[in-house]
Structure 1
Amino acid sequence: MLMKLLFQQTPKAYRLLSTQSTLPLLNKCSVFSYCSSSQPKIPPSNSVEQLQDQPNNTISIDRSGLYNPTEHSHEPSSDSELVKHLKGIIKFRGGPISVAEYMEEVLTNPKAGFYINRDVFGAEGDFITSPEVSQMFGEMVGVWAMCLWEQMGQPKRVNLVELGPGRGTLMADLLHGASKFLKFTESLHIHMVECSPALQKLQHQRLKCMDEDSTAEGVDKRSRSTLAGTPVSWHATLEQVPTGLPTIIIAHEFYDALPVHQFQRGSRGWCEKMIDVTEDSLFRFVLSPQPTPATLYLMKRCKWAVPEEVEKLNQIEVCPKAMDLTYTLAKRIGADGGGALIIDYGLNGVVSDSLQAIRKHKFVNILDNPGSADLSAYVDFASIKYSAEEASDDVSVHGPITQSQFLGSLGINFRVEALLQNCTDEQAESLRTGYWRLVGDGEAPFWEGPEEQAPIGMGTRYMAMSIVNKKQGIPIPFQ
């Protein structure tokens, strides 16, 4: 009923199309492949060995048509505050730090982290996310949330949580699209889980919020969005979001920024890759001579995998924070009801070596000028599934399916056709381009502009997964 209401004004001819269909997916998108070579030596027990890469370990990485990485200059330069901080940690400990710790400092250091004090999204930022591509993405996520709310029995009070909301574009588009469904919007209390003061300010502006006084524990700020009259609160972590109410959680391109530990197979078995400083003050990779705490998560991940899946790999990435976050999330959904939607780029299996750095829409060396580029890694969707099922017997996990399947099933075809009925030629071109980027695969076949500006489809590179309370049945569109 809800989806019928959403699209009842759609032209009759277009309503005849299946919601499962999308534009023809043509031309495979070019990808950046990282290949490693040569075997590591066994480091002595009282030291670490400089890392040498291993052979036959290739993974294709796509970030929507970005350029190939630039070489590390290795030229002397004055260290930034973050570089000095990282070197200070290594010196204080008398040894290297994990890739995960390096990644966490680079992204969220309170003074100099990549996400903390700047706007990194959009054409003028370092990368573009799906909500920045087209309003239709947030609208379709809104359709999913409303359908889940219906399956939950239309509760009168619901927590709608977004993890890592960026500029707030997705939530703003969701509220715009849902604003006519007053029973739904009146039930919502929005919770934005965001640690960056700069991005909190942008989200506040995008949601057109008016501030209110708040004395609630763990709430940094409480406002009301004038887009739909919905209360909005900000929190640093998911744990600060109040429990006890049915909860809908949205995590779009959030898991890929969680810090990963990297392991490499050597003669002694699996060794964790670490980051050290050379004598000439440059960062380098080394191997840990002994097991590290993260080895426990590696053992858990290998236990979940079939032996053949691990045997063929020389490198493995594990993300303890993703496992722990999913455990917390699933526990909450199992106890309070509701569900979570996770959309990201990744694999439905063990991830080998996917960590990448992006600066100004280009790939760069991850050790080059830390804090000036975004670091992200492929999401291990299988690990999310196992973590959720281990956390609670009251939840079920569905997917992953491709972003193209997810958006197509929710009716993005209907929506783009409706929008095309009343727009200028320039707006129509923007709609077609945005649509292709969301659901297409590779370069758009209709593009007639400069080749380097051709829209690249993310439809098959990004995947969607849902974790829901079993009482609510299978969520749309995972049936």
Structure 2
Amino acid sequence: MVANAPNLSEQIDFQIRTAGPMSVATYMGLCLTHPSKGYYRTNDPLGASGDFVTAPEISQMFGELIGFYVAQLFQQMGAPNPVTLLELGPGRGTLMADMLRVLSRLDGFRAALDLRLFETSPTLIAEQKARLADYNGKWITDFDQVGTGPLLVIANEFFDALPIRQFVKQADGWHERVIGLVDGERRFGLNPSPIPESSIPEALHDAEINAVYEVALAGTQIMDRLARTVARNGGAILVIDYGYGRTQTGETLQGVRRHHYADVLDAPGETDLSAHVDFEALSNVAARAGLAVAPLATQGEFLTRMGIGERTQALARANPQAAADLETARNRLVAPDQMGSLFKVFCAHSPGLQPPGFA
């Protein structure tokens, strides 16, 4: 019986046939987090054997510098005990392990640490538990489980994987893009009824016909939950992801499979789906919750201000045989034509804190 169970592609098609076309957000949610067949439930997406490589997997320097960032905030906050350090989507645990190697040298931090990790992938949770076994971490599935003390949040390439809705400008207004079936094949279409113009940001009201507006309600909801907690208890939220600083039109939904771009409608559950992050939307939510928002930085600017050049030189002196590889890794992280400009670094924080790495 189990062997004949429908695969995810068949389940999605059945849902469309019985309930009608589904939103892009519903489709993304099923593809990525279906309880038994979603991409993040059945795959290890990282590294050479996966579909993408993240900054922590490129160099230990990335995690170490974020560790320095956390250390400075911890000291600015008066070394609170306890302090919750929460990572969203921790991957293989590489980023957190590199951070904690730095932070464990800081007086009082190890004793104060309440480590929490938000993850849905059983495969990745197993790797995280093995790599972070010495730190007594707690894996959570709900943001009510973050504790009651000051909260420091790290999210590297997390928000880009949250479901988005897409709206397309037509002569009579904005219509939501949906996914239906045409001759048995999944195809994009439009909901026939336009949404109220008031639902679209005012800056986009004069958009051209066929312009696409993407909104990540899941992302803003998560930011709202975390920002309200930080506003109440103190702390900061650091988000590193690819995206844009101002709300704008443009279609950014993409699929990646085995390090190559893939049709987002093909192979549900086998393809990584993501979209660029609207940092202005996240900023507005955080500000409404009462947080201060640092000027958005590029990843290259942030890592340079945090001292990646000096760290590269120090590691090269200690490991001369690795000097060329270290410089290659540094360039990959900060060069404008690699990850340096595409990736942005966002920080929302308690008023009064001065997060390092921002202008």
TM-score normalized by structure 1?
0.71
3-state secondary structure, aligned to 2:30 = helix
Residues in 2 aligned to 1:182 and 1:118: alpha-carbon distance in whole angstroms:
38
Structure 1 or 2: more helix by fraction: 2
Residue 98 of structure 1 deviates from its aligned partner by 0.2
3-state secondary structure, aligned to 1:144 = helix
2:34 paired with 1:109: yes
Alignment of 1:78-477 (within 5 A): 81-93=7-19, 95-207=20-132, 209=133, 225=134, 230-242=135-147, 244-279=148-183, 281-291=184-194, 295=195, 299-300=198-199, 302-303=201-202, 305=203, 310=207, 314-351=211-248, 352-390=250-288, 392-393=289-290, 395-425=291-321, 427-442=322-337, 457-470=338-351, 472-477=352-357
Residues in 2 aligned to 1:371 and 1:84: alpha-carbon distance in whole angstroms:
11
Change (3 A) 1:436 1:79: farther
Change (3 A) 1:152 1:370: same
Contact conserved, 2:168 with 2:211, CA < 8 A, in 1? Answer: yes
Residue 196 of structure 1 deviates from its aligned partner by 1.3
Residue 311 of structure 1 deviates from its aligned partner by 5.7
1:274 counterpart letter in structure 2? V
Residues in 2 aligned to 1:375 and 1:299: alpha-carbon distance in whole angstroms:
29
3-state secondary structure, aligned to 2:214 = strand
Contact conserved, 1:195 with 1:237, CA < 8 A, in 2? Answer: no
3-state secondary structure, aligned to 1:474 = coil
Gaps of 5+ in 1: 1-77, 210-224, 443-456
Q: For each residue in 1:51-110, what CA deviation from the matched residue of structure 2 results, as whole angstroms up to 9, or x when unmatched?
A: xxxxxxxxxxxxxxxxxxxxxxxxxxx9961001111211221x1000010001000101
2:188 counterpart letter in structure 1? F
Residues in 1 aligned to 2:251 and 2:168: alpha-carbon distance in whole angstroms:
9
Contact conserved, 2:16 with 2:22, CA < 8 A, in 1? Answer: yes
Percent identical residues: 37
Change (3 A) 1:300 1:184: farther
3-state secondary structure, aligned to 2:125 = helix
TM-score normalized by structure 2?
0.94
Contact conserved, 1:149 with 1:155, CA < 8 A, in 2? Answer: yes
3-state secondary structure, aligned to 1:136 = helix
Aligned length: 355
RMSD: 1.9
1:202 counterpart letter in structure 2? E
Contact conserved, 1:347 with 1:379, CA < 8 A, in 2? Answer: yes
3-state secondary structure, aligned to 2:269 = coil
Residue 373 of structure 1 deviates from its aligned partner by 1.0
Residues in 1 aligned to 2:204 and 2:253: alpha-carbon distance in whole angstroms:
23
Change (3 A) 1:299 1:357: farther
Greater radius of gyration (CA): 1
3-state secondary structure, aligned to 1:421 = helix
Gaps of 5+ in 2: none
1:440 counterpart letter in structure 2? A
